[in-house]
Structure 1
């Protein structure tokens, strides 16, 4: 098996795709002091990437930027072999098209140096199904699933496929951790991973409520931002319910409220995305945002995440974790 580069020796990273996720990764890698080579066949990829990095840079400067980080240390390439030449790690963020990813992974395997680990930002596909056409070194393909925007949200879910070597998964988890990410090293492949599974359940229920006229887009969003969402940065849904059980904790919660799980409150199946439902959701978002542009909302979101991350980091530092 080919030796992976030492994590401290990683200097150059390739980002495959310059869209919202790939460009966000590029900005983050730049802020962490790496040189970034970006592959994207679109003629305007460089323009779009520059705009994204410009928008992300102020937030990165607030939280995750290393001294001496070079905002201009990137290049865009349309030739895949040129883009990965001399790189120490690859982060793939191509569109969520299974056939496209299968072709791209086979091509990446053919042009990347054998020891280079290739991480995928896929939000739903498993590495087992994406790497079926990789003939040379399937053992170095790993899922490194981020959350948008990847330059600000710390979470990365890391898992391999049935042909991925454990050493590659461990290397990727160590690398993401070293660059400041909060890594979930998953034990096994799960469709949709962990966070997306939970997020999708909430999303489906929200669509049902809009379709049935039970709640507006604004009401749904406020029910989270001014409700349970305020608790989740400190304790996730499981610990939230543990606290809801009072001194008896989760045991009391399950014993007392367990029967309510049979209540027909939620609908886990997705509603049919009809034209009427689509238009209702779009209209609701336009009404909720008013005259604010997407750029305005991104800046507001980023400022909020920066403030919240600072607050939670301070609280964690001030509250020692009890040792078992």
Structure 2
């Protein structure tokens, strides 16, 4: 049985983590599935609970930059970004220190680690109380829609994990931006809650990622969230919809197209921050309603690529990928 813990039960959640159990916890992006990153069995249990491929590395969460940089080698760029964006939705991929306590499985056996300091007060309280590095991939079955509420976590993982620490709905709603600083040139591996333009304002030019269709051909992945078919509902997804049919569930951005069997509004006012926060909940709702009503697919209206739109479109492209 999976416990639902309130905000006042942080110490209980921390004790479960130290004991090797899995605890889902809120961040500003999505709910993470937490485990003691030093404990190989606990990390393996994360992969098992999620059904996650073992070559997809996990992000390690820390209460502050000092704790994170004790596990990785941070250059001036990393420290400048940490000072600007941590706590917050930015993950840095950096060289792993030889003395790092993080289990190799958490980093998929690579010579790098993905680290971040989350921006949710309850996750920071949990990390301070646990006093261990905590891996925290999204708290859902691998390839399914990421959870932005405690109920979403229970819908997918109830009975598979020890507890969920309930911190209410997530504010950002898409995962963290992942930036690789380990190979010299700064490279964006995954768009997310911090736009690339904001990063470039701190450290200068950032190389953009390879097309996601090429990532699986490269073998071991350097970042979480780079699988091709990911964030996938059960119904097929049709992108860039300019019309909608009666047998389609519509994800609207702005005034909705007429004729759809069901409609979820990302943002009537075309606000990208609102759209990001409502994206995963919308995919879940449209998928459930579409299946209940016998609809054929989910149609998605165009979302612009600037700012958080890059992260939204990245998730939608993965949701629509063949599987």
TM-based fold match above 0.5: no
Q: TM-score range by the shorter chain?
A: under 0.3
Larger relative strand fraction: 2
Q: TM-score, normalising length from structure 1?
A: 0.27
Larger relative helix fraction: 1
Q: TM-score, normalising length from structure 2?
A: 0.27
Larger Rg: 1
